[in-house]
Amino acid sequence: MTSTAGARPALEVADVIREYGAAFRAQHGSWLTGTQHQALRDLAACRTAALGGHVEHCLDCGHDRIAYNSCRNRHCPKCQALSRAQWLDRQTKHLLPVAYFHVVFTLPGALAELALANPRVLYDALFQAAAQTLRAVAANPKRLGAQLGMLLVLHTWGQNLHHHPHVHAVVTGGGLSCNAQGVVDASPRWMACRPGFFLPVRVLSRVFRGQYLARLRQAFDQGQLVFPGQLAALADAAAFNRWLTPLGQKDWVVYAKRPFGGPEQVLKYLARYTHRVAISNQRLLSLAEGRVTFRYQDYADDHRSKTMTLSAEEFLRRFVQHVLPKGFVKVRHYGLLAPRGRDARLAVCRRLLLPATVVAALPGDASSAGSVTPAHVPTCPQCGGHRLIARELPAAAAPPPHGDSS
């Protein structure tokens, strides 16, 4: 008897691509990037005979179990679990026994088309502007006078798959004392935020707006931007500056979510958000007559759960716009958590945080909460035996699955 490993959702993004991806690429291939083409190919082939796999044979009952290889594309809804667990395991040693805050920086909708045409430049600027905003406001002696630890995660989507670039910042509720330029003191103290209060959001919003627009103007002056299609008129410097003027007069959306209670809550959040893709397979409800129906939360309507139906073409168009440029880093560390010199800075932080008021919160629980779960011992799904041998299936030569593949 032969079976295929694991149960899959009734409908997957890969199913939409397999059925309608060729037509979509034929119609829209001229504007798709190489990375977007590759993502569509990878997701369609993921956990199918096209990528090969292996057969596990049980020596006790003779049962054969086919398992196909994963594509490992970072935009694939099925391929994030292991990389997420390994990444979380590395992050546990960077956590401090303090409260953490969650701040979200969002680009105005007017910048969406320009960001789609220049994703690397505009997303880099989003990271830099958000990090510098937190750094500058926190370093101000009238605010906190400290260098913070910051982890920033880029998301480019809303629940309905529209383009909605924003970064989630997970920030320590305090930091090492520093001067107004953010340089840590030679003999620093730990400067804690007031309980339940981080930094004033209106100030963060204004500073973020100025930081981002300055970087956008610099990118224009250095010839880093392209203006295809309807954006062509903005290639003129005077027109570009006129277009930016209203953006400098509006409030930009920066908001602070409910603070985390400590390292354990941070790890739970990171487990959910750092390796998330634009839409999970579990949200897909149906694919019929060229239309995809999926579930989403309407944040404007008290987070109510609703359904949306799109043509397969529109669904794929929305999905591929969230495929990031090749090599683009979507999770970044700044301040106390910046990679260079991080271990030494964190050692100083832990020494300063050692008093009895926080000693109960020190790492034991945090590291266990984020560690990788040990791999289970493989067992035969038919008889429960452990005497399994594996035989490799070469790519494209594997037999087609008779059921669900892993």
Tell me which of 257 and 281 has the higher pLDDT. 281
Categorize the per-residue pLDDT at 360 as very low, low, confident or very high, splitting at 50, 70 and 90.
Answer: very low
Which of 28-32, 48-52, 296-300, 313-317 is the most confident on average?
Answer: 313-317
Question: What count of Cα atoms within 13 Å lies in the side-chain half-sphere of residue 77?
Answer: 18
Q: What is the pLDDT of residues 201-253, one digit of tens each?
A: 999 999 999 999 999 999 999 999 999 999 999 999 999 999 999 999 999 99
Q: What is the pLDDT of residues 163-192, one digit of tens each?
A: 999 999 999 999 999 999 999 999 999 999
Tell me which of 64 and 367 has the higher pLDDT. 64
Closest-CA residue to 263 (of 390, 172, 366, 340): 366
Mean pLDDT, all residues of the chain: 87
Instruction: Give the integer Cα–Cα distance in Å for 19 and 305.
Output: 27
Categorize the per-residue pLDDT at 393 as very low, low, confident or very high, splitting at 50, 70 and 90.
Answer: confident
> What percent of the chain has a predicted confidence (pLDDT) above 90?
63
pLDDT at 362 over 50: no
Instruction: Give the integer Cα–Cα distance in Å for 100 and 274.
Output: 16
Residue-level length of the chain: 406
pLDDT at 300: 82
> Which has the minimum average pLDDT: 131-145, 167-181, 257-271, 348-362?
348-362
Contacts for 185 with CB less than 8 Å, ≥ 6 apart: 176, 177, 178, 179
DSSP string of 277-343, one letter each residue: -SS-GGGEEEEETTEEEEEEEEGGGTTEEEEEEEEHHHHHHHHHTTPPPTT---EEEEETTSSTTHH
